[in-house]
Structure 1
Amino acid sequence: MAKKEEIVEKLTKGELKLYQVEDYTDSIQEAVEVRREFAEQISGASLKHVSNYSLDMARALKKNIENPIGVVQIPVGLVGPLQINGEHAQGDYYVPLATSEGALLASVNRGCSVSKAVGGITVRIIDDKMTRAPVIRADSIQKALEVKEWIERHFIELKEASESTTRHGKLLKVDPVVVVGRYVYPRFTFTTGDSMGMNMVTIATEKALEILTRETGAHVVALSGNLCTDKKPSALNLIEGRGKSIVAEIIIPKDIVEEKLKTTSEAIVEVNQAKNLIGSAIAGNMGFNAQYANMIGAIFLATGQDEAHIVEGSLGITTAEEQKGDLYFSVTLPDVPLATVGGGTSLETATECLQIMGVHGEGNVAKFAEIVGATVLAGELSLMGALAAGHLARAHKDLGRG
């Protein structure tokens, strides 16, 4: 029996764990093949497409994936030119979007054409931070209040301890510090440079907690107590922000609204109020928008961002106002965790997509954030125009069904 077949047989019999395969093979590639053959054998599936890729799996195995069997491929398209008037992104950009949803890129591209017609989308980053909030248990309510007061009095010590773990992270504040019964939830807030920074702030917070527990005697129940709030929809993140907080706006003359969007400013304003504001309110939504997640998700998948943060990027509010027939339109995204270094951005395809926009590597995350904000506006504007004009179903029939 061949060596690979023997290992597959051991996996099938439960004599070997998936994570142990590398110990029994001569290379990472052989280990990947063994696990893939095992998956085919137990499922009856043929994984010929999963097996075709150009990524350096040995490098990915070090920090991006465990038990690899191959790669999932998602179509990547290009939209643009998208004209941006930002502090960091200025001029025309082409943006790669990875999605399997037909009609999405066509819709965003229409928004891009509007940006060109009016001289660009204005974008600003209004805040930039990453958070980690542990949960700490004290012996009583009184002791919990004492822990809260200790945190508030000893910020400098917590700052020095946390920053000793990183060259890039800076502790800005520990706020709020919430007490529930005898549990204490302090929200540590950092800047993280060009890295998205979740690992960075987790390690930094853990170091700060060593001092806190030593000095107060309180017990850390969990390093994350969900006040962060990471990878979940959160009213706190909607209000306070997390990651990059981005606002983008555009003013569209009446004739361009009619020519490009095939509707009127008044109609878009009404759809926004009835759908994004009132409709979201009665549904209890935290995202008062039409489709932020579509653009955020497509950009995240193309550029190696943490896909779980798409749920955070879906938060935000769309505003639309009629100004003497013209349309003022804006998107506010308070919670967009982004990176141009580290994590999945080092994967070869993600690097290439970031390079298309000229934002790969250090010193580029603010520029990237402005491009993301403008892309979201382009897609949101186009969909609102389609809804106002009654074209949504037709577009999906023509483009989404082939």
Structure 2
Amino acid sequence: MRTYPTVPGRGHNSERARQERLAYLKLQGYHLEAIAEGTLGELHFQHKIEAAIGTVEIPVGLAGPLLFQEGEEWVYAPMATLEGALLASVNRGAKALSLSGGVAAEVHRQRMVRCPMVLFPGAGEAARFATWAVAQLDGLRQKAEAQSNHARLLSMEPVAIERSAHLRFVYTTGDASGQNMTTACTWYAMKWLMGKASKAGFEPEQWVIEGNGSSDKKLSAYAQESGRGIAVTARALLSSEVLAKVLRVKAPALLDCMQYSKELARKDGMWGYNINAANAIAGVFAATGQDLGSLHESSGAFFDLEEVEDGVLASLYLPNLVTGTVGGGTMLPKQQEALALMGCNGAGHAHRFARLIAGFALGLELSTLSAIVGGQFAAVHERMGRNKPVNWLVKAELGTDFIRGHLAGDKAAQLESAQLAAIPLAGEGILSGLSARVNRKLTGLFPFRLGYANGRTALALLKLKPTGHEVLSGLRKMARAIEPQLADELERGGHLTEYEGCHLKEGAVYRALQGMECPPCPLWLGGLEEEARELYSILIEWLPEGEMKLFNTEQEPWLWGADDIATALDGIGRVHRFSRHQLMAGALPEVPHFAPWSAARLYAAFAAVAAQESGHPFWAGAAEGGPAYWRSLEVRRQQLATPKALVHNDFNPRNVALRRDGRLCIYDWELAMWNIPQRDIVEWLSFILPTGFKPGEALQWLRHAYAMGGQPVPWAAWLKDAGYATEEYLLTRVSFYLSGNVLADYPFVERVSGNALRLLEVLNGVSKEAL
């Protein structure tokens, strides 16, 4: 016989025993440093696990808010998962359910089953024993319930099969899931029963605590019909409007596809019918300390849609949800927090917990089925266009030599050190967020502390930029979840938009603007472009938030006083004048001329989504106007009197700051284009003007911008061109915000779109005589 290796500390869960096991594994050549780290100590391991060596982490995301009809309550749920897009889908479903009036959920029963098996020499004795055992229910109940403060024995249901008798003990277990509880209760009840059986003349060959009749951690017809765990149903009415606006699908298509998918499911013998309820249930289970072995039976769900007037009635029935809010893994600290987030920690919450799980799982069912029916489920396969791996930059390279490569002349020679600085950042940009959906390489913002030979130190910001291709790929992925046609048009015409080449434009603009006297932008320190590595980086001065008067204020436009607004308009006017006089002669080839009519089908698709989101006729007209509408836009552009200039094209308080000394700082130039300067002005006003502004307020700032821009055209012609610029801004940028808001939640969208539409009305309504 082989010698069995002995692992140290067997039977012990002390910290010393854990360290001994880790040391033993290290001697065997296994390195588990990451698993060994964690916040759980030996007290947390007791009675939860044996032979502990550490922990693993699963990211936890937030599902919700979801409106529950009972109490008109907004609820949340934590979900632990490693599956990308799961939480986004749950939350899309939650939004649809909530906007339809919320979810109602009902618990039908709670049962936990343990099923001992008794074997006899013959079938006759097994059948007689089964009949006799039923008469002992009162004694069985007394013995079983004596072992627990929570278990209540509802019934004992015998099943005789040949020479075996199976005794199904059916309990309620309070707020615990109850598997261990009912095992102990049944064990003591059976010991009593077998003693009494012997006196009654029965001579069994043996008995075991479980003969597989309880369906423990398994699906079965018995469990479905009779129940094991909590049986719960969640229901909601969804209007046709919500189906179209949030889930991007129409009720007839949803019902039709579901009918025939159910037919095939029945033909294939599928257990129950659902789309992917297990994903939501598993996420909550892992976050709240449930028995993961019970996930299989708990996910045997029945999803149904019923046609009603102007919508559908959606329901999800979970007959075997094996959950608890006390005992087991629910007592660990993080799991306690997760249950508390749901309002379900501790006794008295088992039914609420089941209702919430069913509600969020219903949201996922609706979202996923709608994505399948609406064509959003199969994301476009993104080809990277390469036959060999790219040597992408890694974080370990972000050191002194890498930063020195950005600097020129004396600054490069004098740089002695460059270290990443632990400085919190204001947040992720929209383009970075888009590219992160499809990008695995290192991109983003990295603060550095620079040290020079003369003892001087300085802070700098390194920007590792995603390519235009990566931004467009992320945009297509987002669009696929909003409206499949939008993603298709991005595939066809995305290269004609301002996002194309965004990785090259910002560095080129910074270099060019250094030729201005006191340029209104961050100090440009240098950049790197290595096409073979897909490496595009810029290094600029760090803008300490404490030294800024106004910084990242897109949600607080009221902070900009009249003098501050004037400073912003003066600064961008200087850029427009400088570019018009200094850069037009072939400079900045990285920055294209904007021609939205060349991507008419794409912008019409954005307008269609915007029309659905806002209900404003402007978007419907643009979406339905057809080729003639976009040809007219091109003709109008050719008739404009205002000459082009370098336009920031994202000129709003998110990308514009004001230093305490009064100097303006405009950054994030990756969307820059050659266009008429009014494009920047109208975007700025849409962000900075108050909701419901008076026409005179807008005209006051437009005249100020006209004067500061040194315009070579009459005021009336300039103002007419501003109307065109506003329409173009609505079609190409505000439509993007409204479409993205379906998934991303841009809080400024309603205010900005409303202001831009009002600005268009003002400009279209002002006659030359009034001017």
Structure 2: distance between partners of 1:41 and 1:266: 64
Partner of residue 189, structure 2: 208
Cα distance in 2 for partners of 1:144, 1:251 equals 51
Q: Is the 8 A contact 2:101 2:237 kept in 1?
A: no
Partner of 1:63: 47
- Match of residue 365, structure 1, among 335, 350, 356: 350
Quickly say closer, same or farther: Cα 1:220–1:167, change in 2 above 3 A: farther
2:211 to 204, 214, 225: 225
Change over 3 Å in CA distance of 1:375–1:181 after alignment to 2: same
Give yes or no for the alignment of 1:156 onto 2:138.
yes
Shift of 1:30: 3.0
How many equivalent pairs are there?
380
Q: Return the offset for 1:313.
A: 1.2
Match of 1:340, SS? coil
Map of 1:104-253 to 2, 5 A cutoff?
Answer: 104-175=86-157, 177-216=158-197, 217=202, 218-253=204-239
CA 1:396 to 1:52, structure 2 compared with 1: closer, same or farther past 3 Å? farther
Deviations 1:129-174 (Å, cap 9, x if unpaired)?
Answer: 1110111112322111111111222211111111111111100011
Q: Cα–Cα, structure 1 residues 91 and 293, in superposed 2: closer, same or farther, change >3 Å?
A: same
Moved more, 149-158 or 162-171: 149-158
Q: Secondary structure at 2:245's aligned position in 1?
A: helix
AA at the equivalent of 2:147:
T
Mark the CA change 1:46 to 1:83 in structure 2 (over 3 Å): closer, same or farther: same
Q: Which aligned pairs between 1:27-38 and structure 2 lie closer than 5 A?
A: 28-38=14-24
Alpha carbons of structure 1 residues 15 and 385: separation in structure 2 relative to 1, 3 Å = closer
Q: Does 1:17 align with 2:7?
A: yes
The 1:241/1:39 distance shift into structure 2, 3 A limit, reads same
CA distance in 1 between counterparts of 2:26 and 2:98 reads 49
Deviation at 1:38?
2.6
Change (3 A) 1:160 1:396: farther
How many Å apart are 1:52 and its aligned residue?
Answer: 2.0
Between 1 and 2, higher relative CO (CA 8 Å, sep ≥ 6) is seen in: 1
C-alpha separation in 1, matches of 2:161 and 2:132: 17
Taking only aligned residues, the RMSD between alpha carbons, in angstroms, comes to: 2.1
Q: For 1:400 and 1:148, locate their aligned partners in 2 and report how far apart those are by CA, in whole Å.
A: 61
Structure with a larger share of its residues in strand: 1
CA distance in 2, matches of 1:29, 1:209: 38
- In 2, distance between residues paired with 1:376 and 1:15? 45
**Could you tell which deviates more after superposition, 312-321 or 217-226?**
217-226
Matched residue, 1:348: 333
When residues 97 and 141 of structure 1 are mapped into structure 2, their CA distance, relative to the original with a 3 A threshold, is same
Name 2:294's counterpart in structure 1. 309
Structure 2 CA distance for partners of 1:393 and 1:142, relative to 1, 3 Å: same
Distance between the aligned counterparts of 1:123 and 1:369, measured in 2? Answer: 9
Query: Structure 1: where are the runs of 5+ without partners?
Result: 1-12
Q: CA deviation at 1:79?
A: 1.1
Structure-2 change in CA distance of 1:242 and 1:259 (3 Å): same
- The one-letter code sitting in structure 2 at the alignment partner of 1:180 is I
Aligned sequence identity (%): 31
Which stretch of structure 1 is more off in the superposition, 356-365 or 28-37?
28-37
Task: Identify which of 368, 372, 389 aligns with 1:387.
Answer: 372
Residues 30, 283 of structure 1: CA spacing in aligned structure 2 closer, same or farther, 3 A cutoff? same
In the TM superposition, residue 206 of structure 1 has moved relative to its aligned partner by 1.1
Does the CA-based 8 Å contact 1:83-1:120 persist in structure 2? yes
Q: Secondary structure of the residue that 2:77 maps to in structure 1? A: strand
Aligned 8 A contact 1:271 1:387 in 2: no
**Is 1:331 matched with 2:316?**
yes
The answer for the alignment partner of 1:263 in structure 2 is 249
Give 1:401 deviation, angstroms: 5.7
**CA displacement 1:58-109 (0-9 Å, x = unmatched):** 12332001111110110100011011124xx751111100000001100000
Cα deviation, residue 259, structure 1: 0.7
Equivalence for 1:84: 68
In the alignment, the residues of structure 2 paired with residue 255 and residue 305 of structure 1 have an alpha-carbon distance, to the nearest angstrom, of 37
Which segments of 5 or more consecutive residues in structure 2 lack a partner in the other structure?
A: 383-433, 440-771
Please state whether the residue corresponding to 2:257 is helix, strand or coil.
helix
SS in 1 for 2:379: helix
Q: Work out the CA distance in 2 between the residues paired with 1:360 and 1:327.
A: 34
**Cα distance in 1, alignment partners of residues 268 and 437 from structure 2:** 27
Q: CA deviation at 1:215?
A: 2.6
Distance in 2 of aligned mates of 1:120 and 1:141: 55
- Structure-2 residue corresponding to 1:3: none
The alpha carbon displacement at 1:19 in A equals 4.0
Other structure's SS at 1:288 match? coil
Question: Does the aligned pair in 1 maintain the 2:8–2:24 contact within 8 Å?
Answer: no
Q: Which residue of 1 aligns with 2:608?
A: none
Partner Cα distance (2:324, 2:206) in 1: 29
Give the letter aligned to residue 288 of structure 1.
Answer: Y
Runs of 4+ aligned structure 1 residues displaced above 4 Å come to: 395-402
User: What is the one-letter code of the residue matched to 2:52?
Assistant: P
SS state at 2:284 partner: helix
Q: Cα distance, 1:287 vs. partner?
A: 3.2
For 1:328 and 1:205, how far apart are their aligned partners in 2?
A: 42
CA distance in structure 2 between the partners assigned to 1:21 and 1:207 by the alignment:
25
Any idea what SS the aligned residue of 1:281 has?
helix
The farther-off stretch of 217-226 and 192-201 is: 217-226
